[in-house]
Amino acid sequence: MKLFFALLAGGILLHLTTDTCAQGGKFSLSAGPRTDQLFSTVIRSSAFMSSDSLSDVEKRAGKVGEEAMKICCEKVKNDKRRIWYVSTRNGRMIMQLMGIYTRETLLFFHLSLSNRSYLDYDMDSIRFFIADKGGKDVSPKRTELVPVYVYGNTQRIRGKSREPSVIALRRFTLPPGKRLLIEAREKNGGRHLQLQADNGPLVRARLI
């Protein structure tokens, strides 16, 4: 009798163990797709975060769009004069550097051209150079800086008028022995203008 009950109990235990293992197998199989789905979600989230990070890097790299540059130039144009000692004149034409501003990897130069004569000033070009410091008899070696964006009237300054303009360049500073030249040349005329500046105004550029 005892042997019968022992055999019966062993059979019951074996059946329970088999069911448990089978159920465990079912759980492990059903967990596979859930795990894959979770892993896929994590990958997608990581990729999305990487995209956001890349966008932030691009912003920090100075990729300012055209509309943003226009807004910056409007702010600069409406600001008051910040630099009082960088100016030049030829006849009754006057060019002034009103201020230097910065945003991201750009520098914004606020210029003013005043025509105090009755003769219109037809502009051929406004150009920026990094040049060697040298005497008047020495022709300086010059490297031209190409503008990224030009805002304002840089074509004709009518008689008895003043025209502000804002020119954006990639950010830079001057190495030792160098200076910044800003030149405005008159088309079919001789009223050429040239400004000179050192590192002082550049390193004091105001944040937009």
The residue-averaged pLDDT of 155-183 equals 97
Q: Which of 2, 207, 204, 198 is nearest to 86 (CA)?
A: 198
pTM: 0.69
> Bridge partners of 164?
112
Q: How far apart are CA 13 and CA 20, in angstroms?
A: 11
Q: How far apart are CA 148 and CA 129, in angstroms?
A: 14
Kindly indicate the confidence band of residue 64, based on its pLDDT and cuts at 50, 70 and 90: confident
Q: How far apart are CA 206 and CA 81, in angstroms?
A: 12
Q: Phi/psi at 49 (nearest 5 deg)? A: -65, -40
Q: How far apart are CA 142 and CA 120, in angstroms?
A: 30
On whether the CB atoms of residues 92 and 136 are closer than 8 A, the answer is: no
User: Tell me, what's the pLDDT at 120?
Assistant: 97
Kindly indicate the confidence band of residue 138, based on its pLDDT and cuts at 50, 70 and 90: low
Tens digits of per-residue pLDDT, 77-94? 999 999 999 999 999 999
Q: Specify burial of residue 166 (Cβ count, 10 A radius: 0-12, 13-18, 19+).
A: buried
Q: How many residues does the chain have?
A: 208
Q: How far apart are CA 34 and CA 31, in angstroms?
A: 5
In this predicted structure, the answer to whether residue 155 has a pLDDT above a threshold of 70 is yes
On whether the CB atoms of residues 206 and 99 are closer than 8 A, the answer is: yes
The residue-averaged pLDDT of 64-76 equals 93
**Residue entry with tokens 């004569």:** 117
Q: How far apart are CA 168 and CA 66, in angstroms?
A: 11
Cα 97 to chain center, whole Å?
23
Q: Phi/psi at 94 (nearest 5 deg)? A: -130, 130
On whether the CB atoms of residues 150 and 165 are closer than 8 A, the answer is: yes
Which residues, in sequence order, are CB contacts of 160 under 8 Å at separation 6+?
A: 115, 116, 117, 118
